[in-house]
Structure 1
Amino acid sequence: MRGLRRWWDDTAGGLPATFWYLWSGLLINRAGAFAMLFLSLYLTAARGASASLAGLVVGAYGAGGAVGTLIGGVLADRWGRRSTLLAAHLGAAGLMAGLAFSRHLAVIAVLAALVGVVHSMPSPAFVAAIVDVVPEERRSRAFNLQFWAFNLGMAVASLLAGVLAEASFVALFLVDAAATLAAAAVIALKVPETLARTARGTPSGPGRPGRVRRPGLHTALTDRTFLVFVGLTFLLAVLTMQTSTIMPLAMRADGLRPSAYGLVVALGGALIVAGQLFVPRLIEPYRKSSVLAVSTGLMALGFGALAVADHLPVYLGAAVVWTIGQMLAAPPNAQINADLAPPRLRARYQSVFYLTFPAASFVAPALGGLSLQHLGDRHWLVVGGLGVVAAVGHLLAGPPRERRVAALRESQREAELVRG
């Protein structure tokens, strides 16, 4: 019993109540966000769209996601974390209900793009709010739990989506909308505005007391230390996207059935749900750059091993390796991102960081398809090589990052003394 209590304290102890309400909202949000997983099937099966047209509509959703990430970051820093989360959730619920009853493909395409915007808006606000309320020494645990909730929610969503899609596509969209409203209710009732906890900024000039000068997105987009980290995260995202873009094609070329691909994906999700809560205690003694180098190296090894994979057991073994890498990378990746952001620009920095994922979702299939077509199994050696480059990059970029974080902390302490 004492061992279990100690494990719980190491994993989730000492986190504030606001974090747990944010965590609950995220879990409900992800568990209910299943309708868009079946968007292409809905368009072709229920609305008679061609495969190419369905692809364009799904692409519109992805493009909306890139725009929504930036909008969410700016609004969360200017308007507030809570307000941004509520607006995004309420907007998503309304748009999802609209999709349930829309019949014209042009209307569905516009709604899909708007859903992409509001689905991506909460991500910077969620993370910025977590950083606002969780003490620095406990953020690694908080981000680990966030990653776990995200994957648990996605696993639940995948199961629910299949059942609802077989019953009714209208029900699929309406239940999604209801789950989004439930998440909005948790945020509205239990999550206070956390933006006031951050630095308030500096006066904008003489004669304008109380006005605040807030640097824009350009600050994040010209921060070299931060952009190096974003670039390395982009490489990690390209590796991760292989599982949903190129790996199914490779498995089909090896004569494996779609059920085999489903088994590989399910194994990764099961490992994360079962093991992610044990990661913080495992990596706590080590430098973040070292953990990221090891985790990215494991991902390089796992994907590189697919160069010799032609049977399901090899794919499953490789999936175990790269999933462990993903699990180790999640907490330090999120914490470094939070540490590098000035308090007034937390959400903006998060929005730039989260752009790596829609970018990778475009680059991975676009270039990966060409690579697989022309290189065959050697494609996976290229992917493994990218992982090695990222691992070395983290080792080289680690010391400058640490110096930058130390300087930011010192400036924050000085600002607090001045305000005090």
Structure 2
Amino acid sequence: MSSGRNAAEEGAAPRTVATAGPPRLGLRENAAQFALLVAVNALVGGMLGQERTVLPLLAEREFGLTAYTAVLTYILAFGLAKAVTNYLAGAWSDRYGRKPVLVAGWIVAVPVPLLLIWAPSWGWVVAANVLLGISQGLTWSTTVIMKIDLVGPARRGLAMGFNEAAGYLAVAVTALVTGYLAAAHGLRPEPFFLGIAYAALGLGLSTLVVRETIQHARSEAGAHVPRADGLHDHLHEELTQRQVFVQTSFREPALSSASQAGLVNNLNDGLAWGLFPVLYASSGLGVGRIGVLAALYPAVWGLGQLVTGALSDHWGRKPFIVGGMLLQAAALALVAVGDDFPVWVVAAVLLGAGTAMVYPTLLATIGDVAHPRWRARSVGIYRLWRDGGFAVGALLAGVLADLYGIRAAVWVVAALTAVSGAVVAMRMYETHHRRTGVPRPADPVG
């Protein structure tokens, strides 16, 4: 009986055990998780947007701050906190996984709108912005890294366009809505109710629905093919944190060019966030119109990235970065010479368009050059420099505005932005394979 059973088993087809293959890379293959992360990053942007219209006016009208340097302390605190956290987020997401870092960022965000509502002094507002910077560093950095993980090498520009578009469209919509709420109900508390809703929804989605993506990066790393031209042969698979920092910040031409351009880009964004509403108000614009201008710039920025990110996958990264920086410089000059609503509308549109050309392509450049094994750390270091621009911009613009006036500060930042574009034009090489003729790394899943 036993021998009969063995004979039957020997004559039967061998049993197969279903095993999960490597994770599939690509936008279509990961559409559900990618769309979810786009929605989560929109909520991240909304947390930032709740401040864009209201806080500069709150500083002057409720807390009596008149010195521009004092007014911009909240942006300085935000920028420093976010920059440092960006750096840590890249390292932590490699060590602990992407999802825990994302969830931690949302936990930190929960008290922010409550502190802004109840703040009895400006110090509370500054403290709230330290928490906001930490939260933004953890959440926004991680959604960037997770999208790069999912889509693979061919569609990074498009992926970053979707990511940044969602975030900054949410900034724009929230800035517009909070402007109208402030005009109708006052500067507090109604405009910050949106922040409470955003934090609750973002924490819930990130905890319950978002899935870990680090395995996608590991799969890509296993099939990584060096460039045929040998350009990155000196960048080995395994680099220490210090080596990644040096390459991203100073040594590697494309990575370091992107880092300085990111810093200057957010330097002028810090200026726009902190001083433009004050400039508009000093020319007699009401809160409603200030809200429109505060929303228009990130709206064009957000929508434009849906186009520029995808086009950089076909036309290359460098033309968009150089052109975008120069267009931003021209837009800032127009803000400085303008004195009425229509001129500032045009300037806001141009500034948003220039930023849309730069933002997703800088991130895609990091993804092009950095090896998958240390790419998350490189993204974090790039974002350390980029969001450090908020702090530099707040300090520089505040001091210049106090000494020479807001318009002089705008002129100086316009000049710095033009110089940054020239640095990219001279130092950065094209990083995208379709423009260099270098075949892209083979997809690990075919």
TM-score by length of 1: 0.75
Question: Which residue of structure 2 lines up, in the alignment, with residue 312 of structure 1?
Answer: 341
Equivalents in 2 of 1:136, 1:120: separation in Å? 24
1:68-107 matched pairs, under 5 angstroms: 68-93=85-110
What CA distance in whole angstroms lies between the structure 2 residues aligned with 1:23 and 1:343? Answer: 21
- In the alignment, which residue of structure 2 is the partner of 1:337? 366
2:329 is equivalent to residue 300 of structure 1: yes
Q: Is the CA contact (8 Å cut-off) linking 1:124 and 1:351 kept in structure 2? A: yes
CA contact (8 A) 2:400 2:409 kept: yes
Q: Verify: 1:29 aligned to 2:54, yes or no.
A: no
* Greater length-normalized contact order (CA 8 Å, ≥ 6 residues apart): 2
Partner of 2:17: none
Between 1:30-39 and 1:163-172, the stretch displaced more is 163-172
Correspondence 1:140 to 2:169: no
Matches within 5 A, 1:23-62: 23-32=38-47, 38=54, 59-62=76-79
Question: Is the alpha carbon distance of 1:217 and 1:87 closer, same or farther for their aligned partners in structure 2, counting shifts above 3 Å?
Answer: farther
Distance 1:360 1:309, change over 3 A: same
2:263 corresponds in structure 1 to 234
Structure with bigger helix share is: 1
- The Cα of 1:40 is off from its aligned counterpart by 7.2
Distance 1:252 1:45 in 2: 12
CA distance in 1, matches of 2:73, 2:400: 22
Residue in 1 that maps onto 2:297: 268
Do structure 1's residue 215 and structure 2's residue 240 form an aligned pair? Answer: yes
The CA deviation string for residues 222-261 of structure 1, in whole angstroms up to 9 with x for no partner, is 44122232012222222333322344455566x3425554
Given that 1:161 and 1:172 are in contact with CA atoms closer than 8 Å, whether structure 2 keeps it comes out as yes
Q: Among residues 108, 119, 123, which one is paired with 2:140 in the alignment?
A: 123
Moved more, 302-311 or 121-130: 302-311
The structure with the largest alpha-carbon Rg is: 2
Check 1:51–1:84 CA distance in 2 against 1; reply closer, same or farther (3 A cut).
Answer: farther
Hey, what does 2:429 align to over in structure 1?
A: 399
Range 323-332 or range 306-315, more displaced = 306-315
Deviations 1:387-415 (A, max 9, x none): 33222222222327569x98x998x779x
Identify if the C-alpha distance between structure 1 residues 409 and 160 changes in structure 2 by more than 3 Å, giving closer, same or farther: same
Give the TM-score normalised by structure 2: 0.71
| Paired position in structure 2 for 1:386 | 416
Q: Secondary structure of 2:240's partner?
A: coil
1:186 to 198, 201, 205: 205
- Provide the rounded CA distance (Å) in 2 between the counterparts of 1:96 and 1:317: 32
**How far, CA to CA, are the matches of 2:351 and 2:190 in structure 1?**
36
Alpha carbons of 1:170 and 1:251: their partners in 2 closer, same or farther (altered >3 Å)? closer
Q: Contact 2:172 / 2:297 at 8 angstroms: preserved in 1?
A: no
The whole-number CA distance in structure 2 between the counterparts of 1:333 and 1:281 is 13
State which drifts further: 12-21 or 69-78: 12-21
Post-superposition offset of 1:283: 4.9
Deviation sequence 1:55-114 (CA, Å, 0-9, x none): 656654444333322232221111111111112213322565677678798777656534
Deviations 1:28-49 (Å, cap 9, x if unpaired)?
3333555555567778988x79
State the 1:303 CA deviation: 1.8
- 1:251-288 CA distance string (max 9 Å, x none): 566x3425554443333244345554344555554221
* Structure 1 residue 291: Cα displacement: 1.9
Distance 1:374 1:65, change over 3 A: same
Kindly provide the amino acid, as one letter, of the partner of residue 163 in structure 2: Q
Change (3 A) 1:196 1:111: same
- Tell me: CA distance 1:349–1:307, structure 2 relative to 1, closer, same or farther (3 Å): same
Contact 2:277-2:294 at 8 Å conserved across structures: no
